[in-house]
Amino acid sequence: MPSRIGALLFFFTGLLLSLSVEADVKARSCSEVRQAYSAKGFSLVNIPYQEIAGEHLRICPQEYTCCTTEMEDKLSQQSKLEFENLVEETSHFVRTTFVSRHKKFDEFFRELLENAEKSLNDMFVRTYGMLYMQNSEVFQDLFTELKRYYTGGNVNLEEMLNDFWARLLERMFQLINPQYHFSEDYLECVSKYTDQLKPFGDVPRKLKIQVTRAFIAARTFVQGLTVGREVANRVSKVSPTPGCIRALMKMLYCPYCRGLPTVKPCNNYCLNVMKGCLANQADLDTEWNLFIDAMLLVAERLEGPFNIESVMDPIDVKISEAIMNMQENSMQVSAKVFQGCGQPKPAPALRSSRSAPENFNTRFRPYNPEERPTTAAGTSLDRLVTDIKEKLKLSKKFWSALPYTICKDERVTAGTSNEEECWNGHSKSRYLPEIMNDGLTNQINNPEVDVDITRPDTFIRQQIMALRVMTNKLKNAYNGNDVNFQDTSDETSGSGSGSGCMDDICPTEFDFVTTEAPPVDSDRREVDSSAHKLSHSLLTWSILFLVVSLQRQWR
């Protein structure tokens, strides 16, 4: 009897041991790991079918493992590649915002200038005919300099506009006084009376303020989009440190080595890894946010008092207004110039008796407002600004939020609702360490990434400096100032409030007072034989036709 009982005990003990060994062998199978590893595109040659001793591992826990040394190396490189791609994907919105909006704004401003120049040329050809065409280079040079300034040229807008009006005065002074011959020295003397006599009325002063501030805002805003684009593109191309790569491997692929390829990292574990790996990028955030705020301020200027579209679209009408003012004041202007510069020499008889082209009146027709381009690049400035403001607001705090954005990706972590069944760096369990704060100095005690807080990333510091310089430019543009050409004159300096507006200068449209044209006697055939009066009469006719056309246009 005892021998039979002993035999039974031996049998059951052997059976239990057999079942235990079978279960253990099944638990240590690497079939899932082989399948997941193969799905990554790696070869399965020399990949174990069952767990092996892990003393050879350098990053993952040195316990029984499904990883060889070669597997650990390959998965480490894979984790680096995936991290770089994650950062680039996550920053796609910010990068495309600055790339696409820079393109749209640049196209709009360039086309706006082209349309304004074409509109002025068409209008002046129809209105002034040969008188304009013979002097068109004065206006062409104006637009050439405006374009050069916008594209980054070293142009002082105030001096350039002053030069335009001085040249226009010289040309018009000769036209209204064809009976005289003017030397270069005499014309230079004439141009010196531009500010004193104000022959063009108040138009040059107002236009100078509006053009200067609008172009400063437009150019600086596009430069800001360029800087934002470059910084976003550069910073999104990360180069993880060796310490970061080890932490990424441990987080993303050590579950493979432990035979748990389907278990994803805990959310808080991911945050600490990302905050360590992206510590320098987070330090960009403060200057980035100041830059975005400055961009938003200038965007408001583009919508309001510094709206370049409202300045350039009617610039032909504004310059015509100035020419009309010159015509109305021609007698007084000429008398004061003769008094200050001396009596000029009479011109040869041929020149003093010349008249306007015979077909001048017949070629003129009222300007059709429908022919004026109403938009550039198929849109309007208001729509562009509204769109970019929304996008800029969304990009605030982007760099400090980057770890959270990455760790919210369901491809990366188990999520916040699955804190027990996630990889914590050692096993499938809850992650206990606290989450680090943002920035380089706060990573001194990061439990996952070895970060040298004494060595800030030089490349990131360069981007911070670029943002700081651009922010300063934007602040100056907001106040109507160009950092290269600070205006010190009373009439164009910003107000004490820093708003960039003077008491009566900020309106984006001039308050024109249209003078009703006197009736013209169509039967009148006689003209004064005086060459001086003849030239005044001819120009008066051209101006009167312009006034009538403008009145019809604005009705």
Residue 515 has a pLDDT of 27
Answer whether 323's CB lies under 8 Å from 200's CB.
Answer: yes
Answer whether 270's CB lies under 8 Å from 416's CB.
Answer: no
HSE on the CB side for 156, CA within 13 Å?
8
**Which parts of the chain have pLDDT scores under 70?**
1-27, 349-378, 484-555
Residue 27 has a pLDDT of 46
Judging by beta carbons within 10 Å of its beta carbon (0-12, 13-18, 19+), is residue 532 exposed, middle or buried? middle
Residue 4 has a pLDDT of 53
Answer whether 438's CB lies under 8 Å from 285's CB.
Answer: yes
Q: Which residues contact 281 (CB under 8 A, 6 or more apart)?
A: 235, 238, 399, 402, 460
d(CA 39, CA 35): 6
Answer whether 203's CB lies under 8 Å from 512's CB.
Answer: no
d(CA 555, CA 545): 16
d(CA 113, CA 116): 5
Q: Which residues contact 437 (CB under 8 A, 6 or more apart)?
A: 275
Q: What ranges make up the beta strands (E) of 352-497? A: none
Q: What are phi and psi of 50, to 5 degrees?
A: -135, 160
Nearest Cα to 316, choosing from 413, 203, 236?
A: 203
Sign of CA pseudo-dihedral 114, 115, 118, 119: negative
Residue 504 has a pLDDT of 35
d(CA 393, CA 455): 31
What 3-state class would DSSP assign to 345? strand
d(CA 508, CA 304): 7
Does the pTM exceed 0.85? no
Q: What is the DSSP string of 51-75?
A: -B--TT-SSS-SSSBS--HHHHHHH
Residue 258 has a pLDDT of 92
Helices 315-328 and 92-128: crossing angle, nearest 10°?
Answer: 30
What 3-state class would DSSP assign to 151? coil
**Pair of tokens at residue 474:** 């934007």
Dihedral of CA atoms 242, 248, 251, 253 in degrees, nearest 10, equals: -100
Nearest Cα to 179, choosing from 406, 348, 313?
A: 348
Judging by beta carbons within 10 Å of its beta carbon (0-12, 13-18, 19+), is residue 498 exposed, middle or buried? exposed
Residue 191 has a pLDDT of 87
Residue 304 has a pLDDT of 86
Residue 378 has a pLDDT of 64
Neighbours of 514 (CB within 10 A): 11
